[in-house]
């Protein structure tokens, strides 16, 4: 120990200092706010970190992520089951007013990938619906690789959807200002193009439709096509036995398909508005998933409930702790959308 710190030192009480009672009381003055602050802050940081990890374990780690382009039949069936959605095929009927004007099938170039021909097939689609695009100030916009504009957390469910689609029909303003694309202004439909269509392709288009339906306010439709003999339309329909229905119908000629697309684009996108399509006998009911899924507003409490239950488990072993309870309360508050801004 440094001798200059000894009490028996000429600088302090002198060499002959002898305390009368054998004890020395030392009063130390420290700057205001130092006493207890560091330890208290450290303790709260520790508790908050522990509760954050508890929250991540009980809530965030349970989320399932589906990437549209990686969708398979097994993943698709799992997604439909998790969301309690039923897919219902609807048979097409002969067109009212006779057969539509024939349209040539798209000619795929051998040896080139779908992506390498994306510009060609976008021009093909645009050329066959150009009149309705101009009349309604719409455009066919090709979505570039890496622009994951169809990524969303499904509300009230531990499911994340991620990725993009090939083409989107939406407001022509995105041609002038491409940075508006993520907002999907005036969106009408998405188009997923597959040179070879299979069951996995259908689930990919299905997941893209679900994602877009949650992202935008408008009622939208999805089209899965090989641009030759498979033109499958999907849309959110009505509800049956407390389960939302996604309806689907398939056409086999581009002339019929483009007639349906032109009719669709000329209609209002307002939710809950029924429309008539020339390939169907009954009006098409278009709804929004967030109005029909039973677990929205209910399942979101599961992770909160687990966090609180874990706190009670800890308290039963170690006794109640105010700091831990406060930290749990902060996590619960962050989990409530309307209160997360204030936490």
**108 and 195 Cβ atoms separated by less than 8 Å:** yes
Rounded to an integer, the average pLDDT of 311-337 is 65
pLDDT of residue 341: 45
Per-chain mean pLDDT for the chain: 83
- Count, residues in the chain: 343
pLDDT for res 3: 63
C-alpha torsion angle, residues 276, 277, 280, 284 (rounded to 10): -50
For residue 268, what pLDDT is reported? 77
Span 192-239, pLDDT tens digits: 999 999 999 999 999 999 999 999 999 999 999 999 999 999 999 989
Higher model confidence: residue 254 or residue 1?
Answer: 254
- Higher pLDDT, residue 164 or 308: 164
- The pLDDT confidence band at residue 267, using thresholds 50, 70 and 90, is confident
In whole angstroms, what is the distance from residue 92 CA to residue 89 CA?
A: 10
Q: What percent of the chain has pLDDT over 70?
A: 67
Q: What is the rounded CA–CA span in Å between residue 145 and residue 18? A: 85
- Mean pLDDT of the 288-294 span: 86
**pLDDT at residue 160 above 60?**
yes
Break the chain into its structural domains and give their ranges: 72-287, 300-343
Whether 114 shows a pLDDT value over 90: the answer reads yes
Euclidean distance between CA atoms 242 and 227, whole angstroms: 35
Q: Give the H/E segment covering residue 327.
A: helix 322-335
Cα–Cα distance for residue pair 158/83, rounded to 1 Å: 10
Quick: pLDDT tens for 15-42.
666 666 556 666 555 555 555 555 555 6
CB-based contacts of 54: which residues, under 8 Å, 6+ apart? 307, 310, 328, 331
User: How far is 334 from 336, CA to CA, in rounded Å?
Assistant: 6
Give the separation between CA 248 and CA 273, rounded to whole angstroms. 18
- Burial classification of residue 114, based on how many CB atoms lie within 10 Å of its CB (0-12 exposed, 13-18 middle, 19 or more buried): middle
What are the backbone dihedrals phi and psi of residue 192, each rounded to the nearest 5 degrees, phi first? -105, 120
- What is the arrangement of strands in the sheet containing 152-153, beginning at the earlier edge strand? 64-67, 159-162, 152-153
């Amino acid at each position: 120990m440094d001798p200059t710190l000894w009490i028996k030192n000429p600088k302090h009480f002198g060499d002959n200092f002898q305390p009368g009672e054998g004890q020395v009381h030392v009063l130390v003055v420290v700057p205001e706010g130092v006493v207890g602050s560091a330890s208290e802050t450290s303790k709260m940081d520790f508790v908050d970190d522990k509760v954050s990890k508890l929250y991540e374990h009980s809530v965030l780690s349970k989320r399932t992520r589906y990437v549209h382009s990686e969708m398979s039949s097994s993943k698709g069936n799992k997604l439909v089951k998790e969301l309690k959605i039923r897919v219902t095929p609807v048979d097409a009927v002969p067109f009212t007013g006779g057969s539509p004007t024939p349209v040539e099938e798209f000619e795929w170039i051998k040896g080139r990938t779908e992506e390498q021909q994306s510009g060609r097939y976008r021009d093909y689609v645009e050329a066959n619906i150009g009149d309705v695009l101009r009349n309604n100030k719409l455009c066919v916009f090709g979505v570039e690789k890496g622009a994951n504009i169809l990524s969303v957390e499904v509300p009230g469910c531990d499911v994340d959807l991620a990725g993009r689609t090939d083409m989107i029909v939406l407001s022509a303003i995105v041609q002038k200002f491409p940075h508006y694309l993520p907002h999907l202004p005036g969106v009408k439909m998405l188009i997923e193009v597959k040179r070879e269509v299979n069951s996995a392709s259908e689930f990919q288009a299905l997941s893209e439709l679900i994602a877009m339906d949650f992202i935008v306010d408008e009622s939208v439709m999805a089209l899965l096509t090989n641009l030759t003999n498979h033109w499958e339309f999907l849309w959110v329909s009505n509800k049956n036995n407390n389960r939302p229905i996604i309806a689907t119908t398939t056409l086999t000629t581009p002339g019929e398909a483009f007639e349906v697309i032109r009719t669709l684009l000329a209609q209002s996108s307002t939710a809950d508005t029924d429309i008539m399509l020339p390939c169907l006998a009954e009006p098409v009911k278009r709804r929004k998933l967030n109005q029909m899924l039973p677990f929205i507003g209910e399942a979101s409490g599961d992770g909160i409930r687990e966090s609180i239950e874990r706190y009670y488990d800890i308290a039963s072993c170690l006794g109640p702790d105010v700091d831990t309870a406060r930290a749990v309360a902060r996590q619960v508050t962050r989990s409530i959308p309307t209160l997360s801004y204030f936490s």
